Homo-oligomer: A and B are copies of this chain.
Amino acid sequence: MNHQNSDQITTETKHRSTGRLYGIGVGPGDPELLTLKAFRLLQAAPVVAYPVSDGGKSLSRSIVAGYLRPDQIEVPLWYPFKLEQSSQPYYDEAAEKLAAHLNAGQDVVVLCEGDPFFYGTFMYLYTRLCDRFPTEVVSGVSCVMANAAQLGTPLTYRNDVFMVIPAILPAAVLSQKLAVADAAIILKLGKHFAKVYALLQELGLAERARYIERATMPNQRIIPIHDVDPETVPYFALISIPSQWQP
């Protein structure tokens, strides 16, 4: 976009000596589902940051592992996901880690599963850093769409109303939301599968629903929903309720 107004010229001048912050979507799991832009920025960046889980693993890093160079500085960002009430200091700390690189004039790419602004944790860095450093967000393929390609089920047609619902919500709330949707994705299933499955049976939606784990990842699994073992459902599993419209 070409927005040459005076405010932006001032901002550019102010930031000229700092690095640029990029939040890049790395897509749902298949490394080939990175965009050309994300790939270019990733390859060019001196510093690559990514969230790591309590176990020290990083899903977003594993997606792009084949694209990283040995000379890139890697910055793992640890957020204690299980203690949400106290996570703000961890985001503050992560932001300051990145600010140190940006202030030193280094561009920083932050890896984001799926899309950076659609659920996820990049927003916590974005709100802390976007006023201090030139920042760009690169959209990615979301698992919300990628599951449809893997399942072979078109998701929405024409005037359908589409909804994305986190599985953690109580059954009564899920029921109220689903009542107004023509098509829906229920995501972040994990330990909530049994509750969601029972509700879909009650609502007469279980026959239409499709279950998929880790869409496009090497360990993707598609299982008939009635055969799913609720004890083994991972966080990155979702249920698709595709549109009923017949083309």
**Interface of A with B (CB < 8 Å)?**
1, 25, 27-28, 30-37, 39-40, 91, 115-119, 122-124, 126-127, 130, 136-142, 145-146, 148-150, 152-166, 168-169, 176-177, 180-181, 216, 220, 247
Contact = CB atoms under 8 A, between A and B. Distances in A.
- What's the number of copies of this chain in the assembled complex? 2
Given A28-B139, A161-B163, A154 B35 contact: no
Contacts of A180: 176-177, 180
14 contacts: A1-B220, A25-B145, A27-B139, A30-B37, A31-B36, A117-B153, A118-B162, A122-B154, A123-B247, A137-B149, A139-B141, A140-B145, A159-B168, A161-B164
A180 B176 CA distance: 8
A139 B148 contact: yes
Contacts of A33: 35-37, 138-139
Contact of A119 (B32, B157, B168, B181): B157
Nearest to A28: B139
A35 B168 contact: no
Most B-side CB within 10 Å, residue of A40, A91, A149, A159:
A149
A157 B139 CA distance: 16
Given A115-B148, A161-B163, A161-B165, 17 more contacts: A1-B150, A31-B36, A32-B37, A32-B40, A33-B37, A91-B247, A117-B155, A122-B154, A123-B247, A130-B152, A136-B149, A139-B141, A140-B145, A156-B164, A158-B166, A161-B177, A177-B180
B166 A161 contact: yes
Given A123-B157, A164-B156, A149 B139 contact: yes
Contact of A154 (B123, B156, B163): B123
A119 B154 CA distance: 8
Nearest to A163: B163
Contacts of A31: 36
Nearest to A126: B154
A124 to B, nearest CB: 5
A155 B37 contact: no
Closest CB pairs A-B (n = 4):
A32-B37, A117-B148, A137-B149, A123-B154
